[in-house]
Amino acid sequence: MFGLPDGVTACLFDMDGVVTQTAVVHAAAWKEMFDDFLREHAEATGTPFVPFDPVAEYDAYVDGKPRLDGTRSFLESRGINLPEGTPADAPGTPTVWGLSNRKNDLVLAKLAAGGVQVYQGSIAYIRSVRAEGISTAIVSSSANTKQVLDSAGIADLFDVRMDGLVATERGLHGKPAPDTYLAAARDLGVAADHAAVFEDALAGVEAGRAGRFALVVGVDRVGQAHELAEHGADIVVKDLAELLGDRR
């Protein structure tokens, strides 16, 4: 039923790129923030300016990860060492926290300007599984998850919200570690082998595979079906509506 193995009683969904059309907003914010920093860094060090690649580098270093982890991962890939800084660092300060704060400001501004759009196929799928008594959770690295769900008017579609704020409060590691998915399943009272994970990020499918969930569904929004499968997706679809079959 719904493409799920027998015995699955919970579905755990990533938000950006799976449920909401906000992954492109995040990618644009990362690029704007990193390009501004890289341009200044190149001028200060007398090295060539190499802009942030919003596809290859976004997928490899930041997509699906907690904000600070994404910043660290990308900087490390470029061989750039910055101080950690503190949460109070002004946006744009050349620290991990300062750059991360700048990225967050850019995301909030872009969301406020354009609102939040959802993937209708995903909403139809979530409503269908809930109608059959399957519990649902949103599992996102974003600290803005509640605002996004409220803006889109879909907060009531999830029994549990496991986001960046909750993960920090509980001391959970972000994706690609399976901690947040496992915690969401526990909050629903379901074992991992009775839950399915739905992800569009490579780090997210890695988390699903590491958690030994019953099924990891890769959602291919940007033409990376092969990579999603390589990183741990059991099946890959372009839209969750494909899993509804004749129920559409």
Q: What is the set of active-site residues?
A: 14, 16
Cis, peptide link before residue 176, omega less than 30° from 0: yes
Beta bridge partners of 139: 162
Q: What whole-number distance in Å separates Cα of residue 180 and Cα of residue 201?
A: 14
Local structure of residue 178 (DSSP, 8 states):
S
Q: Is 78 exposed, middle or buried (0-12, 13-18, 19+ CB in 10 A)?
A: middle
Scan for tokens 């399957």, then name that residue.
134
- Cα separations in angstroms, 225 against 62, 90, 139, 221, 242: 18, 38, 21, 9, 15
**Amino acid identity of 129?**
V
Tokens at 2, concatenated: 């719904």
50 three-class SS:
coil
- Cα separations in angstroms, 99 against 71, 191, 245: 7, 37, 44
